Copies of this chain bind each other. A is one copy, B any other.
Amino acid sequence: MRLLSIGLLIGLVTTPALAERKEPIQLRDVGSFHIGGRLLEITGQPVKEIVFTPGGVPAKVDPNGTYQVEQMYVQYYLQQQPKGKLPLLMWHGGGLTAATYETKPDGKPGWFNYFLRKGWDIYISDAVERGRSGWTPTFKGESLVLPLGDPWERFRVGPIGSWNADKAKRVTFPGAQFPIESYEQFMKQGVPRWTTTDDAIVAAYVELIDKVCPCIVLVHSQSGSFGFKALEARPNKIKALVAVEPTLGGDKNKVASVKGTPVLMVFGDNAKDHPRWSKIRQGGVDYAGVLKAAGGSVDIVDLPDIGIKGNSHMMMMDKNSDQIADVIQKWLVRKGLSN
């Protein structure tokens, strides 16, 4: 695949324009909707009498009937004067919600704010069975929620074995950019996930694309897989795909159909050498190679190679998150997708 030239790489590394933060955000509209899902029939369950509020009046609840399941919640923020030529869709990773991109755990503006200030119409969503999308106790398999220490190592704040319940004894990678004083605050963003709902998640994303695209899709981690599946389902509707540490690339047998959509992959620090992330990254690089050989356009940015060091898997929450957003923004501008 094509690597970015050195001159371009230097151009991508800038400091955030703090001055513009003082301008008001001017929106023509803000709102939300649920999209997708299906009806599910439940039968043969006993009627219950439930006191919803202690001291309140009991209500009979019949659990039998038809349920709305597998819908997706989407919030939209539409600019008074958009600079982006298409809407930007922001899809979060596993065990999380759209909060991933909003205000960072340290209270500073995240990528949602960055791209909003850059003038993009934004559609930011909670994947099926996460957050405001809701869930029903009908999904197969156990739900999973992560304990405090797990992401510290799995999301590369520190190396394997570096977690410690005692804050003073936690070890990070050298120069780590994750705001470790806000690590517990980050963990408040976690929501349960299932490993059995991928098809429902992709179905809802495709419905969203049919409703609001052509567009640009920004994915992270687990939603990398969903982004490529959505691209394969609607190659003409996604005009650029930004994949931030995707856990999987697309289907190598389908590259011919998606080669018209430029792809940017971004990896943080310590991804190349990490026992788990090196495999994940290599999967993305291998897919990119096949896509490129078929005539596709893929740029892979390993952040340390362009001088941006210390970034975790949650780079949108790292202290230098604006610097990485700048890399993405400039790539989108170069693709002719924003003024």
Please give the residue numbers on chain A whose beta carbons come within 8 Å of chain B beta carbons, in ascending order.
24-34, 37, 39, 42, 50-57, 59, 61-68, 71, 73, 75, 77, 80, 94, 97-99, 102-103, 107, 109, 113, 116, 126, 131-132, 134-137, 142-150, 154, 165, 184-185, 187-193, 195, 198, 222, 225, 247-248, 276, 279-280, 283
Nearest CB of chain B from residue A30's CB, rounded to whole Å: 6
- Given A25-B27, A147-B66; A32-B103 close (CB under 8 Å): yes
Partner of A31, one of B50, B67, B73, B103: B103
What CA separation (Å) do A18 and B302 show in the bound complex? 50
What CA separation (Å) do A134 and B136 show in the bound complex? 14
What CA separation (Å) do A102 and B52 show in the bound complex? 24
Partner of A147, one of B59, B67, B198: B67
Q: Say yes or no: B192 contacts A137, CB within 8 Å.
A: yes
Cβ contacts A to B, 5 pairs, < 8 Å? A25-B28, A34-B189, A53-B198, A57-B283, A132-B191
What CA separation (Å) do A131 and B73 show in the bound complex? 10
What CA separation (Å) do A133 and B322 show in the bound complex? 26
What CA separation (Å) do A195 and B48 show in the bound complex? 13
